[in-house]
């Protein structure tokens, strides 16, 4: 794909950017969680129908797969996730969430709008496409492993997807830049829960109780030493405790405390090792306090997200023609996780970050922040990347 063709694609997506922004704002007002994306899915289906694009809905409950093109000999896939987060929105925008306690704080509404923008342009090019494009609108990225469900229900087959591409908005870098890396880009992750059970009692008589609160505190401290004292300093890993729940008043020792957290590593083997050791440390420290600790994983484990090296090189060249050579820096591996990784078991994949940090628009907060806002002026870049990937790979 030439520089001139890239400029033409960018110009085309710029023309429809107001339309993409309108869709994004509709989606932003109706954030839904995991697989319960009924209104979100309905909006996407409405727009695909208006564009006269064939699609199949109710895949993995509320997922959608649209297809453009008639040649089944080659097939590439573009993916956008659609779910929101259980966060109360605090952003000062006119199109705030109408659903209490739910917010598009990770930009999935933006991903969906940009993919619909790409769909609009690709539909116009359908007669000249030398292959088929699948547009995957996926539920449940935020902890529900929606990509795994989509794969199980055949999204990568009939016709077989040969390459897949995804974008994530990236507030760590300025608007208009791209980032990523070949090979391992994002971490393998899982969530866990530890239930520490003891014997409740009066706070004035701790010797008559087996205190799960103090035991939980020791467990949390012990877990942290797994990274600082057992792991090779050159092996990246994170264990974060994110919630502690137990007790309800100041003068009662509770019978149980629940600890929640996450494990992240740049290798599946190290992640699995940390799971085993956290379970062992929790159990043994609890026993020392005459308590018990039951370790369980929550949800699905996400594999490492890895960019195919050859495909990555192609995407870098493509991206530089769109944003300029100085605006596609290679980043270090990131400890965040992504279920886009599941598609990599079926075909070469590439996943990139689209910069959206812009002080002039107030887009300064990170992902999963209640005041996260999006610099919508980059939507045409995201849509152009999708279109260019298709034209390049087909």
Nearest to 37 by CA among 114, 117, 168, 138: 138
Place of tokens 């070469």: 348
pLDDT band of 5, cuts 50, 70, 90: confident
Q: Give residues with Cβ within 8 angstroms of 136, minimum separation 6.
A: 63, 64, 65, 77, 78, 79, 80, 150, 155
Q: Reply yes or no on whether the pLDDT at 273 is more than 90.
A: yes
Instruction: Give the start-to-end residue ranges of the domains of the chain.
Output: 3-185+304-393, 188-301
Q: Reply yes or no on whether the pLDDT at 104 is more than 70.
A: yes
Rounded CA-CA distance 34/86 in Å is 10
> How much of the chain exceeds pLDDT 90, in percent?
93
State residue 7's pLDDT score: 86
> 200: which DSSP letter?
-
Q: What is the pLDDT of residues 105-125, one digit of tens each?
A: 999 999 999 999 999 999 999
Q: What is the pLDDT of residues 53-65, one digit of tens each?
A: 999 999 999 999 9
Instruction: Write down the pTM of the prediction.
Output: 0.92
Average pLDDT over residues 174-180: 96
Sequential DSSP letters for 306-371: EE-HHHHHHHHHHHHHHH-GGG--B---BS---GGGGGGGTS-EEEEEEEEEBGGGTB-PPTT-TT
Rounded CA-CA distance 65/137 in Å is 6
CATH class in words for 188-301 = alpha beta
What size, in residues, is the chain?
Answer: 394
Rounded CA-CA distance 173/41 in Å is 30
Q: What is the pLDDT of residues 361-387, one digit of tens each?
A: 999 999 999 999 999 999 999 999 999
CATH topology identical between 3-185+304-393 and 188-301: no
Average pLDDT over residues 30-35: 98
State residue 3's pLDDT score: 74
> 209: which DSSP letter?
S
Residue 392 CA: distances (Å) to CA of 14, 156, 386: 20, 20, 10
Q: What is the pLDDT of residues 205-228, one digit of tens each?
A: 999 999 999 999 999 999 999 999
Q: Reply yes or no on whether the pLDDT at 236 is more than 80.
A: yes
Report the SS3 class of residue 352. Answer: strand
Nearest to 190 by CA among 157, 129, 229, 148: 148
Q: Are 34 and 142 in contact (CB under 8 A)?
A: yes
CATH class in words for 3-185+304-393 = alpha beta
Q: Reply yes or no on whether the pLDDT at 231 is more than 90.
A: no
The whole-chain average pLDDT of the chain stands at 96
Report the SS3 class of residue 285. Answer: helix
pLDDT band of 6, cuts 50, 70, 90: confident
Q: Are 137 and 115 in contact (CB under 8 A)?
A: yes
Q: Are 203 and 252 in contact (CB under 8 A)?
A: yes
Q: Are 203 and 251 in contact (CB under 8 A)?
A: yes
Rounded CA-CA distance 282/266 in Å is 23
Give the Cβ contact number of residue 50 at 10 Å.
Answer: 10
**CA-only gyration radius of the chain, Å:** 23
Rounded CA-CA distance 314/1 in Å is 10
Give the Cβ contact number of residue 98 at 10 Å.
Answer: 12
Rounded CA-CA distance 120/126 in Å is 10
State residue 300's pLDDT score: 85
State residue 1's pLDDT score: 60
Rounded CA-CA distance 266/235 in Å is 8
Report the SS3 class of residue 82. Answer: coil
Place of tokens 């957290």: 261
Q: Reply yes or no on whether the pLDDT at 2 is more than 80.
A: no
> How much of the chain exceeds pLDDT 70, in percent?
100
Cis, peptide link before residue 239, omega less than 30° from 0: no
> 134: which DSSP letter?
E
Average pLDDT over residues 305-317: 97
């Amino acid at each position: 794909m030439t520089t001139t063709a890239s400029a033409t694609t960018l110009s085309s997506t710029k023309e429809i950017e107001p339309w993409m922004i309108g869709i994004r704002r509709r989606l932003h007002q109706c954030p839904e969680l995991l697989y319960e994306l009924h209104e979100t899915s309905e909006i996407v289906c409405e727009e695909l129908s208006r564009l006269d694009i064939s699609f199949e809905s109710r895949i993995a409950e509320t997922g959608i797969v649209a297809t453009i093109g008639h040649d089944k000999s080659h097939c590439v896939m573009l993916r956008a996730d659609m779910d929101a987060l259980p966060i109360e929105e605090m952003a000062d925008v006119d199109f705030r969430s109408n659903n209490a306690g739910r917010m598009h704080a990770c930009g999935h509404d933006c991903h969906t709008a940009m993919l619909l923008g790409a769909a609009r342009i690709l539909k116009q090019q359908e007669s000249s496409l030398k292959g088929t494009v699948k547009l995957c609108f996926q539920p449940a990225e935020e902890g529900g492993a929606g990509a795994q469900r989509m794969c199980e229900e055949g999204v990568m087959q009939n016709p077989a997807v040969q390459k897949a591409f995804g974008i994530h908005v990236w507030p760590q870098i300025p608007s208009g830049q791209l980032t990523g890396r070949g090979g391992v880009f994002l971490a393998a992750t899982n969530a866990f829960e530890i239930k520490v059970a003891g014997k409740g009692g009066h706070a004035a008589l701790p010797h008559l109780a087996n205190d799960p609160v103090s035991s939980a505190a020791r467990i949390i401290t012990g877990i942290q030493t797994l990274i600082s004292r057992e792991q090779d300093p050159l092996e990246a890993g994170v264990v974060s405790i994110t919630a502690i729940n137990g007790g309800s008043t100041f003068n009662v020792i509770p019978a149980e405390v629940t600890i929640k957290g996450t494990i992240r590593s740049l290798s599946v083997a190290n992640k699995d090792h940390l799971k085993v050791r956290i379970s062992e440390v929790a159990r043994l420290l609890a026993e020392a306090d005459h308590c018990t600790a039951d370790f369980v994983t929550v949800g699905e484990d996400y594999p490492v997200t890895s960019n195919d090296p050859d495909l990555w090189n192609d995407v870098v060249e493509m991206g530089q023609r769109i944003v300029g050579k100085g605006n596609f820096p290679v980043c270090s591996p990131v400890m965040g996780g992504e279920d886009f990784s599941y598609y990599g078991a079926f075909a070469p994949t590439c996943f990139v970050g689209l910069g959206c940090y812009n002080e002039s628009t107030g887009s300064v907060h990170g992902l999963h922040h209640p005041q996260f806002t999006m610099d919508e002026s980059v939507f045409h870049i995201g849509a152009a990347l999708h279109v260019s990937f298709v034209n390049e790979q087909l």
